[in-house]
Every structure is written in structure tokens, then in C-alpha cells.
Amino acid sequence: MGVTVGTGIGSGFVIDGKIYHGSRGFAMELGHIVVQRDGLTCNCGLEGCLEAYSSVSAIQKATARINPKYSTCELRELLIEAKSNQQLRIIIERSREYLAMGLATACMILDPDIIIVGGGGMDAGLYSIAEIEKSVRAKTSKVNHHTQIRKATMGNQAGVMGAMLLAAQS
Ligand SMILES: [Zn+2]
């Protein structure tokens, strides 16, 4: 399973070497599973989606709510600020917990061998993969603890590499 933390939350699932698309091509909308009842409005129009809490844009919106001066900050600036600002750290930790909830749910349903977490947010150091793993373990039963949780290593190249591999298969 692959998950990207960027402007939104993207995800995909590979089974027997093939991408799983679902019956009509809309499978793996992990970013739009509801993690909070009556929660924040998501870009998709629903309320309480994972993406509305754990994406980079969700972090930017949440920090702007505590102080409008953060509304123009890039993620990297917010992460530097968070080192000395507990309110920002709480927002980031809460967002990471929501992400872990989503990943734990996926583990319980799909029982994946490995979950690769990447995207611009992860590249910038938004969430610690060790903390995500710890939290996913706490939210899943022992039979699901074999799932490896790893940080993606290909950075911006991942999308291009994936497209090349897909083209090579067809
Ligand atoms: Zn949504």
C-alpha cells in the first residue's frame, strides 16, 4: 500500500503485482474516509475526512486558525516554528494521530505486507515514521502487527517512476 501526504492524502494498493482499482476505479480513497464525526469540511464536500486533518493544506489551515500570521507560511517554516511553539506541535501530533487512525483502519481491512508513506509532507519531515508506526501498532490487533510501515525513498521521482512502470506494463 502506498500513501502520500501532500496537498491532499493519496493512496494506492497493489495486490498480486497489480494496482487495485475497485469495481469502477474509485478504490483506495483513504484521504476521504471519515475519521471525525461532524468534523472539518473537506475539499470533496464531505465532513471529517482524513484529508481535512492530516494533509499539508489541513495543517496550514489549522495553524492559520490559531494565528493568521501562519496563513502565508510554507510547511518548512511551520515546522521550524513548531520547535518552539507547543500549539503548533499539538496540531501536528493530532494530525499524525488521525493519519495513524486511517492507516490502522486500512491495516485491519487490507492486511498489507507494507505501507510506504511518502509525499511532500513526509519529505519535509512533517511526521515521524517511527511515531506513525507506534501509533498504528497501538490501534491494530497483534495479528496485524507484521505490516511494515516505511518512509518512501524516491521523493519527487516516485510519480514519474510509477508512470513509467505502468506504461511498460501496458
Ligand atoms: Zn474528503
Distance 46 CA to ligand 1 centre (A): 5
Residue 151: enclosing H or E segment and its boundaries?
strand 148-151
Distance 154 CA to ligand 1 centre (A): 26
Q: Give, to the nearest 10 degrees, the angle between helix 75-82 and helix 86-110.
A: 110
Distance 103 CA to ligand 1 centre (A): 16
Distance 169 CA to ligand 1 centre (A): 31
Which residues lie at CB < 5 A from ion ligand 1? 32, 42, 44, 46, 49
Distance 54 CA to ligand 1 centre (A): 11
DSSP-H helix ranges across 33-156: 51-54, 56-66, 75-82, 86-110, 120-123, 129-138
Beta-carbon count within 10 A of 114 CB: 12
- The domain total for the chain is 1
* Full residue range of the structural domain in which residue 125 is found: 2-169
Residue 113 CB burial class (10 angstroms; 0-12, 13-18, ≥19): exposed
**Beta strands 9-12; 18-19: pairing state:** unpaired
Distance 28 CA to ligand 1 centre (A): 12
The model's pLDDT over 112-161, given as tens digits with 9 standing for 90+, comes to: 999 999 999 999 999 999 999 999 999 999 999 999 999 999 887 888 88
What pLDDT shows up at residue 15? Answer: 95
- CATH number of domain containing 138: 3.30.420.40
Distance 170 CA to ligand 1 centre (A): 31
Mean pLDDT of 7-31: 95
Q: Provide the whole-model pTM.
A: 0.94
What pLDDT shows up at residue 74? Answer: 94
